[in-house]
Amino acid sequence: MFKKFEIPDEIVKESLKILETSSKTGKIRKGTNEVTKAIERKTAFLVYIAEDVSPPEIVMHLPLLCEEHKISYTFVPTKDELGKATGLKVGSASIAIVDAGEAKQSIKGLNNKLAELKK
């Protein structure tokens, strides 16, 4: 079982802003199946997981896969927030950034902050 870590609100806001930029200027994968493939193919830079997914088993494997492939991941309170950040009218259980676009530098900083939180 993975260890879920607390993510401060300001980091959640920062990560959603990065997701928004990446969805406009880079490439993202939406939905748990697409995200799983992106992780396994090692094309994902950062994985977002919604905390309100029901049942939680739908996304439970993602943190473990990310750890295994050394890919950063973060949690966002709701599926709707994830969907909204990417311009979707519906929520999304998980999203992976596969091309950061203009958010490349921001992702590096966020990944460092997430690594610190996990310790």
As averages over each run of 10 residues, the pLDDT of the chain (119 residues) reads 72 94 95 97 96 93 95 94 94 96 92 86
Cβ-contact 44, 109 below 8 angstroms = no
Number of domains in the chain: 1
Q: Residue for token digits 């690594």?
A: 115
Q: Is residue 3 part of a domain?
A: no
114 lies in which domain range?
9-118
Burial profile 87-113: b = 16 or more Cβ within 10 angstroms, e = fewer: eeeeebbbbbbbebbebbebbeebbeb
Q: Is residue 4 part of a domain?
A: no
Please state whether the predicted TM-score (pTM) of the whole model is above 0.85. yes
Q: Is residue 24 part of a domain?
A: yes
Q: Is residue 49 part of a domain?
A: yes
Q: Is residue 75 part of a domain?
A: yes
